[in-house]
Structure 1
Amino acid sequence: MKKYVLSLALVGASLLGASELKYQEFDGFKSPESIFVDKNSVYVSNVGEKLEPLAKDNDGFISKLDKNGKVLEHKFISNLNAPKGMMEVVNTLYVVDIDVVRGFDLKSKKEVFNLPIKGAIFLNAIEKLNDDTLLVSDTGTGLVLKVDLKAKKYDELLKLDIAKFGGPNGLYLDRKNDKLFIAGYHPDGASGGVVMSYDLNDKKLSVIKNEKEAYDEIVPYENALLVSSWGENLNGVIYRLEDDKALKLDLPSIKGPADIFIEGDTLWIPKMVEGKILKVELKN
């Protein structure tokens, strides 16, 4: 683990301002894709030794850390293929694993839920609609699915035109306004996607950032949205979207900022290509 102090700048066409922020870097992970934080712990999904997000090689796992970044159990849950997005619901940690939604009891670590998704290609993110229902994105098919945890069934919520919007990758549900925010990522890894919102009531899809990039995850912060992007030539970026502006957070080099997580003023960022995670304090 390394500790640093950095200058956080909001960058648009020019430098808008800066202040010193603290961050910590932790290494020893194997292609970390997603981070999930609950009341007591931090969970990191590891795709495996090689960055092969579609390989069914059984070398994926989930690490468990404390809030200070100390690894409590490197392979808290093992024997996965290429685990990505996670969500906790009533003491069960759900994780998407290529084409299956799986759930593990957080106390016993036993698998208590397993739902294969027929035709799925690249399940990526999980968002909780309620304690009985998850929303799951499939970047490869353009689908966002509603998964009924009790009935162990699923149906289609929406389907994106991948060529136009990219596949749905990151998800954030604004429950107050019944809007689902979506970070688009084209499954070819090059064509890019856009950032969107989907109204759960009138089913309207709106683009809120139309510059095409490899967007990965989207989270709320204050009155804004933070969106991770793989950028160009693995120069990863975290954007702050607010008042029709897209401002860059001035952070250290991030190669592969995948499924970020926000907890209060703390932003957790997986550096997927580097096998590290970053913990950034957005306020001193």
Structure 2
Amino acid sequence: MKTFVTSAFLVVMGIAAVPTAEAGELWRATGLEQPESALFDAADNRIIVSNIVGNPGDADGNGYLSVLSVDGKMVTRHWTDGIDAPKGMAIAGGKLYVADITKVRVVDLASGKLVASIAVPNAVFLNDMTSDQSGNVYVTDMLADTIYRIDGDRPELFVTDAMLASPNGIFADGIRLIVASWGKGIKPDFSTAEPGGLLSVDIATKAVSPLPGAQKFADLDGVIAIGDTIYATAYMTGTLYRYHVGGAPEAVAHFKPGSADIGTDGKSVLYVPLMNEGEVAALKLD
């Protein structure tokens, strides 16, 4: 597992660059270390960024969280230290939850202090997180076709389904979870035998269903929704996609490979972590 992840990310970092998005870009924050996720904290009007710092599968204690202002300035570089390889994050009940390989870390939002670690039994590679309207937190296990749910400090298996096809990004959207799938048959270079797409998981019934017209088009990473529009990143190519029900995914921005777990202010701005560049880009939506 750890060898697999190491080789995958080293190969990805060597992929030739594609043109960087210009239109709509507001700013770039630099000097970060493998930023995987950028989460907008509306209560404090700031952006929290997870920094992996090393092998994404190694429990090495090198990872940390940073805080940016909404105009891209560094507020606190080492806001939370002592994490292994932090990735997706979610806010619920006044706490910040952070996916960290096989654990979910709990951070006090006021101080940035690590206050708890929740071990997730049988977890392989926890990746992205989201919270629903009831305060439940969900986390994907990318290499196990699984989503876990955490209620307070109690983890439970929510759904395991081969249709999830390496679930990476996740976003709670009303009565459903929107999932960004990396794809099936992941190879050593992190490419896939079959690319991923967008899925919906009914929170009440746990039924998994593909979103029409958005299947098998890219190895997807992060995902968010604003109104009836879904945005998703493809890590391997650096592409940002936009999707509406009834249509097809449309590429709306291109970065170098490494675009990861996007965040949003919920209105008109996306925050895109550029993991291999050590940057976070803010994009103004049309």
TM-score normalised by structure 1 residue count: 0.84
Which range is displaced more, 182-191 or 78-87? 182-191
In the alignment, the residues of structure 2 paired with residue 238 and residue 253 of structure 1 have an alpha-carbon distance, to the nearest angstrom, of 8
Letter in structure 1 aligned against 2:177 = L
Name structure 2 gaps, 5 residues minimum: 1-19
| Structure possessing the higher relative contact order (Cα contacts under 8 Å, 6 or more residues apart) | 2
2:98 alignment partner, one of 95, 98, 119: 95
Q: Match for residue 257 of structure 1?
A: 259
Compare CA radii of gyration and give the structure with the larger one: 1
Q: Match for residue 47 of structure 2?
A: 42
The one-character-per-residue Cα deviations of 1:60-98 (angstroms, maximum 9, x if unpaired) are 110011111110111110111100011122332111111
Q: Is the 8 A contact 2:80 2:114 kept in 1?
A: no
For these two proteins, the number of residue pairs brought into alignment is 256
The one-character-per-residue Cα deviations of 1:157-196 (angstroms, maximum 9, x if unpaired) are 11121xx542111111121xx1111111245422132211
Q: Cα distance 1:165–1:126, how it changes in 2: closer, same or farther (>3 A)? A: closer
Give the drift of 1:254: 3.2
Q: Is the 8 A contact 2:145 2:164 kept in 1?
A: no
1:181 alignment partner, one of 163, 170, 178: 178
Pairing 1:6–2:22 present: yes
1:221 alignment partner, one of 219, 222, 226: 226
Pairing 1:154–2:155 present: yes
Give the drift of 1:271: 0.6
Q: Is the 8 A contact 2:52 2:85 kept in 1?
A: yes
Superposition pairs of residues 65-104 of structure 1, within 5 angstroms: 65-104=68-107
TM-score normalised by structure 2 residue count: 0.83
In the alignment, the residues of structure 2 paired with residue 181 and residue 105 of structure 1 have an alpha-carbon distance, to the nearest angstrom, of 27
Q: Is the 8 A contact 2:21 2:254 kept in 1?
A: no
Q: Cα distance 1:89–1:200, how it changes in 2: closer, same or farther (>3 A)? A: closer
Q: Match for residue 54 of structure 1?
A: 57
Give the drift of 1:253: 2.4
Q: Cα distance 1:115–1:54, how it changes in 2: closer, same or farther (>3 A)? A: same
Percent identical among aligned pairs is: 26
Q: Is the 8 A contact 1:6 1:23 kept in 2?
A: no
Q: Is the 8 A contact 2:241 2:253 kept in 1?
A: no
In the alignment, the residues of structure 1 paired with residue 111 and residue 134 of structure 2 have an alpha-carbon distance, to the nearest angstrom, of 20
SS at match of 1:157: strand
Which range is displaced more, 83-92 or 204-213? 204-213
Which range is displaced more, 120-129 or 68-77? 120-129
Name structure 1 gaps, 5 residues minimum: 8-20
Give the drift of 1:137: 0.8
Of Structure 1 and Structure 2, which has the larger fraction of its residues in helix? 2
SS at match of 1:217: strand
Q: Is the 8 A contact 1:90 1:131 kept in 2?
A: no
Of Structure 1 and Structure 2, which has the larger fraction of its residues in strand? 1
In the alignment, the residues of structure 1 paired with residue 138 and residue 79 of structure 2 have an alpha-carbon distance, to the nearest angstrom, of 24
Pairing 1:244–2:246 present: yes
Letter in structure 1 aligned against 2:260 = A
